[in-house]
Amino acid sequence: MDPEAPASSRFVAALILGGLVVGVSALAFHLGLATPRPTPPYTWWWRRRKKKTRPVRVYMDGCFDMMHYGHCNALRQARALGDELVVGVVSDDEITANKGPPVTPLHERLIMVRAIKWVDEVIPDAPYAITEDFMNKLFTEYNIDYIIHGDDPCLLPDGTDAYALAKKAGRYKQIKRTEGVSSTDIVGRMLLCVRERSIGDSHNHSSLQRQFSHGHSQKVEEGGSRSGTRISHFLPTSRRIVQFSNGKGPGPDARIVYIDGAFDLFHAGHVEILRIARELGDFLLVGIHTDQTVSATRGHHRPIMNLHERSLSVLACRYVDEVIIGAPWEISKDMITTFNISLVVHGTIAENMDFRKDESNPYAVPMAMGIYQQLESPLDITTSTIIKRIVANHEAYQKRNEKKEASERKYYEGKTYVSGD
């Protein structure tokens, strides 16, 4: 440029030249020909932005035996502390050595954990205690940023904290325990149910199991179980239901599939039939029968879990889009129209397979409409299967509950308010 040119002209020319440089650089970056290299003072911002591009990965482990809504809520809370949740599922041998025999074997527990919608990755055969070697493996091979556990103590047989190393490393985060249920509590409900049935069924008194299902008492049932099983004190809230809900309905042209049932003691058999049902449409609607309906069709000792407990367990499943809390036994034409149901399905493995012989077939209407389909169940598991496992190994589970009950009582006696959800 001519040095004799006016200052204003030189300024305009500089702007044009600068604009051309920026434009060419942007075009090169867009075409993948160049990578922008920020210069100070923007280098710190670039490094910070680059660092944030890697997702925060959190780890949570557990036995997840007889998985229930408490487990699901713990996983939901853990996932909220990061971008990706990796879950370690403890092996059968480790559970037996530290707590007693598991009710559900590893392959069933893996099906359950993988089906939870907040879980991104699963590590089978995880150790019960986090050793230094395993912790380093989590940090290096799995890129774990934080290890998560509930606010209730997790002690090894020698009395030491199972998460002491993670806490010492400064890579530990805590979530709030979900009150009202535990695997020990559920096993206790079944043991008490079995005990009552062995004494004899009387229609002249209120069933202890009915108290369990409806949460009529929050105290420990005297003499009901040598382990001092706590009667269910789950208090359902609308907020918890919203937390578990997907929060969206079907599209206007969605193919809606409907399946109903008790879904008591939500297990791997339930998960697998729900998975197959979901593959048949765009939206899976699940009907959860009322406690009264389940009692009328399965016996007055059922259900083990009450309506809201069962609903939350089903809602946590990644294959489920929505549930009807307290679905009717019979599927009417009005119900099919109201929910725009395209297909009604039922599995081949269920505790109520005599409905065709009943005077009032609950699936008569969808059958007449040609929208009913029976699905081959992948697993031969029902709620009665789980109960039979408890009955068959009654003494072992009784001892397991007695051992666990002491720590449960200590937790409740020293319980204080902890913020969280």
Number of Cβ within a 10 Å radius of residue 409: 13
pTM confidence score: 0.76
| Per-residue DSSP letter, 235 | -
Nearest to 224 by CA among 80, 44, 403, 401: 401
Q: Determine how β-strand 146-150 pairs with β-strand 57-62.
A: parallel
- 337 and 292 in a common domain: yes
- Tell me, yes or no, whether 41 lies in a domain: no
Mean pLDDT of 151-172: 83
Q: How far apart are the first and last CA of the chain?
A: 68
Give the mean model confidence (pLDDT) for residues 395-412: 60
Residue 418 belongs to a domain: no
Give the helix/strand (H/E) hosting 291: helix 291-298
- In DSSP notation, 7-29 reads HHHHHHHHHHHHHHHHHHHHHHH
Range list of β-strands (E), 114-215: 121-126, 146-150, 172-175
Question: For position 160, what pLDDT does the model report?
Answer: 79
- 149 and 204 both lie in a single domain: no
Q: Is 185 helix (H, G, I), strand (E, B) or coil?
A: helix
The mean pLDDT value for 242-265 works out to: 95
Rounded mean pLDDT of 103-122? Answer: 97
Cα gap 324→251, rounded to integer Å? 18
In this prediction, residue 129 carries a pLDDT of 86
CATH number, residue 74: 3.40.50.620
pLDDT in tens, 1-52: 455 555 555 554 555 555 554 554 555 545 554 444 454 555 555 455 545 5
Domain boundary among 175, 191, 212: 175
- Distances 93 to 100, 157, 194 between C-alpha atoms, Å: 9, 15, 27
The H or E element containing residue 92 is helix 92-98
Domain limits for position 399: 183-234+384-413
Same domain as 162, residue 75: yes
Stretch among 91-95, 190-194, 411-415 having the lowest mean pLDDT: 411-415
Mean residue pLDDT across the chain: 80
CA distances from 418 to 151, 230, 421 (A): 8, 21, 9
Question: What is the DSSP pairing of strand 121-126 with strand 57-62?
Answer: unpaired
Q: Which residue has the higher pLDDT, 47 or 193?
A: 193
- Segment 196-204 mean pLDDT: 48
pLDDT confidence of residue 213: 38
Asked if residue 157 and residue 74 are part of one domain, the reply reads: yes
Shortest CA distance to 131 belongs to which of 85, 179, 88?
Answer: 88
| Residue 348 and residue 259 in one domain | yes
Which conformational region is residue 26 in: left (phi greater than 0), alpha (psi within -120 to 50 degrees), or beta?
Answer: alpha
Look at residues 175, 196, 212 and tell me which one is the last residue of a structural domain. 175
Strand order in the sheet with 341-347: 322-327, 283-289, 256-261, 341-347, 372-375
Q: How many distinct structural domains can be found in the chain?
A: 3
**pLDDT given at position 415:** 58
| pLDDT tops 80 at residue 417 | no
pLDDT at 197: 56
pLDDT at 230: 39
Tell me what the mean pLDDT of segment 184-203 comes to.
64
In this prediction, residue 225 carries a pLDDT of 35
Q: What is the pLDDT of residue 347?
A: 96
Q: Examine the pLDDT at 334 and tell me if it is beyond 50.
A: yes
For residue 25, being part of any structural domain is answered with: no
Q: Is residue 24 part of a domain?
A: no
- pLDDT-based confidence at 218, cuts 50/70/90? very low
DSSP character at residue 41: T
Residues 226 and 289 in one domain: no
Looking at residue 193, its pLDDT comes to 65
- Residue at 106 is within a domain: yes
Give the model's pLDDT for residue 212. 36
Residue 155 counted as domain residue: yes
352-378 per-position pLDDT tens digit: 777 666 678 999 999 999 999 999 999
In a domain, 70, yes or no: yes
Neighbours of 347 (CB within 10 A): 22
Tell me: pLDDT of 235 over 70: yes
* Statement to judge: residues 189 and 102 lie in one domain: no
3-class SS of residue 173: strand
Average pLDDT over residues 56-64: 96
16 in a structural domain:
no
The Cα–Cα gap between 267 and 385 comes to 10
Give the separation between CA 176 and CA 186, rounded to whole angstroms: 20
Q: Which of 134, 153, 175 is the last residue of a domain?
A: 175
Beta bridge partners of 149: 174
Residue labelled with tokens 């706590």: 230
- pLDDT at residue 224, as a whole number: 35
Whole-number pLDDT of residue 413: 65
How many residues are there in the chain?
Answer: 421
- Shared domain for 95 and 168, answered yes or no, is yes
Name every residue whose Cβ is closer than 8 Å to that of residue 50 and which is 6 or more positions away in sequence. Answer: none
Residue 209 in this model has a pLDDT that exceeds 70: no
Q: Strand, helix or coil at 347?
A: strand
pLDDT tops 90 at residue 282: yes
Of 17-21, 64-68, 83-87, 239-243, which range is least confident?
17-21
Compute how many other C-beta atoms are within 10 angstroms of the C-beta atom of residue 389. 17
- At which residue do the structure tokens 């025999």 appear? 101
Q: Same structural domain for residues 291 and 318?
A: yes
- For the cut 90, the answer to whether the pLDDT of residue 140 exceeds it is yes
Number of H helices, E strands in the chain: 17, 10
> Read out DSSP for 252-282?
TT--EEEEEE--TT--HHHHHHHHHHHTTSS
Higher-confidence position of 202 and 152: 152
Do 370 and 318 share a structural domain? yes
Are both 114 and 149 inside the same structural domain?
yes
Higher pLDDT, 136 or 14: 136
Residue 221 and residue 298 in one domain: no
Least confident range from 259-263, 266-270, 275-279, 409-413: namely 409-413
Percent of all residues in the chain with a pLDDT value above 70, rounded to a whole number: 69
